[in-house]
């Protein structure tokens, strides 16, 4: 947020703890110095020290550790995940495989996580979802009725995405095909 102070415009971030608007304080005694604080009395945000310029105080106030972590390359914990990436897709495939047939909260958690990603993940990952969910009927089934319904709805969404892209669907070779 931009704050006007003594004719100057200065950008100050909101308080990281309470999202409150920060306040600028001027120390008029001796050398003029500035500090910035959150005035919300319930807030734990520590105010800045008095600094010789408003800009310096603002710089201290605007410091956020999560902006200071250098962007790391793959393998670092701060890497940006590319959802269309093969390895990310493989992890999703593993999550689906693990959840299929389980009678816990896991199927709905996994389906809920993946469904909004469907438009972005790669075709190979979609194909493996299709294959694994289709094949599950021959290997232990889908668990409770409500889980089975969730899986079928999810599979329908996978098919919709495959059709939208013109991707090939998994062919259930046990079923007769009419082509
Ligand atoms: Zn605050």
What are 60-69's pLDDT values in tens digits?
A: 999 887 665 5
> How close is the Cα of 127 to the center of ligand 1, in Å?
49
> How close is the Cα of 27 to the center of ligand 1, in Å?
21
Structure-token pair, residue 39:
């005035």
Structure-token pair, residue 32:
């003029």
The stretches in the chain having pLDDT less than 70 are 66-81, 177-179
- Which residue bears the tokens 């896991």? 106
- What local confidence, expressed as pLDDT, does residue 146 receive? 93
pTM, two decimal places: 0.56
> How close is the Cα of 72 to the center of ligand 1, in Å?
30
> How close is the Cα of 14 to the center of ligand 1, in Å?
8
Interhelix angle 145-165/123-135, rounded to 10 degrees, is: 150
- What local confidence, expressed as pLDDT, does residue 139 receive? 93
- What local confidence, expressed as pLDDT, does residue 79 receive? 56
> How close is the Cα of 161 to the center of ligand 1, in Å?
45
- What local confidence, expressed as pLDDT, does residue 108 receive? 94
DSSP 86-125: HHHHHHHHHHHHHHTT--SSHHHHHHHHHGGGTTTS-HHH
DSSP state for residue 51 in the 8-state scheme? B
Structure-token pair, residue 20:
């409150």
**E strand or H helix at 127:** helix 123-135
Give the span between the Cα atoms of 81 and 9, in whole angstroms.
Answer: 37
Give the span between the Cα atoms of 2 and 11, in whole angstroms.
Answer: 4
Give the span between the Cα atoms of 165 and 123, in whole angstroms.
Answer: 9
- What local confidence, expressed as pLDDT, does residue 160 receive? 97
Structure-token pair, residue 72:
């790391």
DSSP 25-65: EEE-SSS-EEEEEE--TT--PPPPPPBSSHHHHHHHHT--H
- What local confidence, expressed as pLDDT, does residue 91 receive? 95
> How close is the Cα of 20 to the center of ligand 1, in Å?
5
- Give the chain's largest Cα–Cα span: 91
- Which residue bears the tokens 């269309």? 84
User: What residues form DSSP beta bridges with 9?
Assistant: 4
> How close is the Cα of 31 to the center of ligand 1, in Å?
27
């Amino acid at each position: 947020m931009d704050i006007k102070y003594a004719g100057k415009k200065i950008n100050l971030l909101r308080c990281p703890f309470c999202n409150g608007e920060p306040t600028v304080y001027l120390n008029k005694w001796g050398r003029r110095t500035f500090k910035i604080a959150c005035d919300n009395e319930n807030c734990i945000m520590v105010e800045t020290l008095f600094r010789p310029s408003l800009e310096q105080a603002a710089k201290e106030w605007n410091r956020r550790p999560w902006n200071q972590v250098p962007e790391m390359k793959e393998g670092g914990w701060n890497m940006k995940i590319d959802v269309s990436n093969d390895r990310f897709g493989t992890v999703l495939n593993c999550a689906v495989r693990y959840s299929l047939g389980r009678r816990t909260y896991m199927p709905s958690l996994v389906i809920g996580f993946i469904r909004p990603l469907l438009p972005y993940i790669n075709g190979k990952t979609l194909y493996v979802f299709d294959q694994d969910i289709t094949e599950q009927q021959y290997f232990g089934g889908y668990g409770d009725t409500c889980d089975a319904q969730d899986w079928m709805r999810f599979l329908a969404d996978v098919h919709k995405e495959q059709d939208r892209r013109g991707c090939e669907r998994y062919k259930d070779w046990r079923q007769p095909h009419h082509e």
